[in-house]
Chain A
Amino acid sequence: MIPISSIQPLMQSYGVTPGEGIAPSLPVTPAEQPGALAPAQPPGDSFSTMLGNMIAEVNSKQVTAANTVNNLQGGGNVSLHQAVIAMEEANVSFQLMVEVRNKLLDSYQELMRMQV
């Protein structure tokens, strides 16, 4: 059982004000063991910064792949397989990012469909 309050900062970071879907007057029932979930989240490391870091890494992989291909075409000291491997790595990490985004969107829409 995940407490609904843990989703509120995430929703705020995406510009959603809580209260439209979740009635503020409704008492949020705490989880059975409040101490079980609390230490899993280190303070100050929100999901949005984690997602931001991931996007930055995926971007740097794309830039590396583009540079490698440019080097290859410009006659630099790069072999064909290095360029292709860099491109594949960029491709797979981009797909991972897209999967994470799809999951996030799915769960957000699931929440929006929830009847209160």
Chain B
Amino acid sequence: MIDILSGVQSTAAALDAERTRLDVIAENIANANTTHGPDGKPYQRQMVVFESALKQAMNGSQIPTLQVAGIEKDTKPFEMVYEPGNPDANSQGMVAMPNVNIHEEMADMISAERAFEANLAVVKNSRAMALQVLSIGKH
């Protein structure tokens, strides 16, 4: 198989990974006020861990890419809020809120979006370079 857009394999993997990161951030923001989940505990913030990997190309060579190593739970303590009317309040009237900081999530979202954008720029430039090469000899 001819490799028309070289380097795009690793970029595609990075785009996949950033997409997963954005999905996890969306889950965190959506559950920022969830005081009990299926296990009865408040929602625990999740984060994505990336790792580099080697992918087998069709011509047998190894392409350096990356993949999502796993989605880990943040072990930060829950924030305790005084809210006696809440059904999840304890005997002192304190409710454990998820350890999600919405400002942190927004900053993470910007960083994920910028990383996505950078990878898209790589695809765009790779395509532009291929087309420029094809116009050699034209006037």
Contact = CB atoms under 8 A, between A and B. Distances in A.
Interface string A69-106: 00000000001011001001100110110010000000
Contacts of B5: 85, 88-89, 92
- Report, as a range, how many residues of chain B touch the other chain: 10 to 19
A77 to B, nearest CB: 11
B107 interface: no
Main secondary structure of the interface of B (DSSP, over half): helix
B8 to A, nearest CB: 6
A95 B4 CA distance: 11
Contact of B12 (A61, A85, A93, A96): A85
Interface residues of A, number: 15
B43 to A, nearest CB: 26
A79 B15 contact: yes
A86 to B, nearest CB: 9
Contacts of A96: 4, 130, 134
Given A79-B19, A81-B120, A92 B12 contact: no
B123 A95 contact: no
B136 to A, nearest CB: 9
A81 B134 contact: no
22 contacts: A57-B1, A57-B2, A60-B1, A81-B12, A81-B15, A81-B16, A81-B19, A82-B15, A85-B8, A85-B123, A88-B5, A88-B127, A89-B8, A92-B4, A92-B5, A92-B127, A92-B130, A92-B134, A93-B2, A96-B130, A96-B134, A99-B134
The 5 A-B residue pairs whose C-beta atoms are closest, nearest first, are: A81-B15, A93-B4, A92-B130, A92-B4, A99-B134
Interface of A: 54, 57, 60-61, 79, 81-82, 85, 88-89, 92-93, 95-96, 99
